Amino acid sequence: MTSIRYRKLAVDGAGIFYREAGSPGAPKLLLLHGFPTASHMFRDLIPLLADRFHLIAPDLPGFGQSDSPGRGLTFDRIARSIDRFTELVGWDRYALYVFDYGAPTGFRLAVKHPERITAIISQNGNAYAEGLSEGWNPIRAYWETPSEANRESLRQFLKPETTIWQYTHGVPDATRVSPDGYSLDNFYLGRPGTAEVQLDLFGDYQSNVALYPKFQEYFRSRRPALLAAWGKNDPFFLPAGAEAFKRDIPAAMVRFFDTGHFALETHAGEIAAVIREFLGPVIQA
């Protein structure tokens, strides 16, 4: 049985909750989750990798068991908190596993500290315009016209049925999706004040798109070892976004899985096997 530790660390006065497993002397892998979930999305993956890697999965500020900074949360603030978090846990060299919101968070860390990043695993974590589907159109409308009406229209993304849809859309057999994940996500989304924080982040997502050229320049100049492990039926991040990594990192490994946005819900074993295949040469290099 894998021993997983559950801890909370004060980062600039705010608590960051995290899961930790594996030997401290093993190669390090930082797992960054997305919307609307938390580190529990890695509950199946962590035991499959803990024999080989030292893993830490924090809940991003405003998510899960981490403290919420309240209104005005931005992706820059999230990245600064996670950057400081890695320093406080003593990590100065690590690989990144980024998903959804975890991607613009992790890519900010890579741009700021390229010498710290040993490899990147992007699981439906986008950095290219062609990876954004039409599902982003309501959020784009809010970027372009931040009116109250456009903000209110985004509350549909916070409804319990929408969370369930995000988990099950594109999954050939929905009975493989445990209700545990989306039920916990819906509990977190239902907490007082959470909706407004999440709507603020929808509005700020345009800052991530604005940084795509900077992320891509990092990929071209540093050529990090990169694996794109993609649920090919994702309604938000298209397969073209995975293939685009090869434009800037020709040696990037791209693997598609017949599932949706939350690929770990159905393919944790397969993704863990690919991670081992991918990181093996990187670790020994």
Q: pLDDT digit string (tens) for 20-65?
A: 999 999 999 999 999 999 999 999 999 999 999 999 999 999 999 9
What pLDDT was estimated at residue 282?
77
Average pLDDT over residues 215-227: 98
What lies within 8 Å, CB to CB, of 119 at 6+ separation is 95, 96, 224, 225, 226, 227, 278, 279, 282
What one-letter code names the amino acid at 176? R
pLDDT tens readout for residues 71-81: 999 999 999 99
Domain 4-284 CATH superfamily = Alpha/Beta hydrolase fold, catalytic domain (3.40.50.1820)
Residue 78 CA to residue 18 CA, distance in Å, equals 15
Q: Where are the beta strands (DSSP E) in the chain?
A: 4-11, 14-21, 28-32, 54-58, 94-98, 117-122, 226-231, 253-257
Q: Write down the pTM of the prediction.
A: 0.97
What pLDDT was estimated at residue 271?
98
pLDDT at 285 over 80: no
Show me where the domains of the chain are located: 4-284
Average pLDDT over residues 210-238: 98
What pLDDT was estimated at residue 256?
98
Q: Catalytic residue among 33, 40, 169, 261, which?
A: 261
Which phi and psi (to 5°) does residue 256 adopt? -110, 145
Residue 119 CA to residue 97 CA, distance in Å, equals 9
261 is annotated as an active-site residue: yes
pLDDT at 99 over 70: yes
What lies within 8 Å, CB to CB, of 231 at 6+ separation is 123, 124, 170, 256, 257, 259, 260, 261, 262, 263, 267
Residue 25 CA to residue 141 CA, distance in Å, equals 47
**Burial class, 240, CB count within 10 angstroms (exposed 0-12 / middle 13-18 / buried 19+):** middle
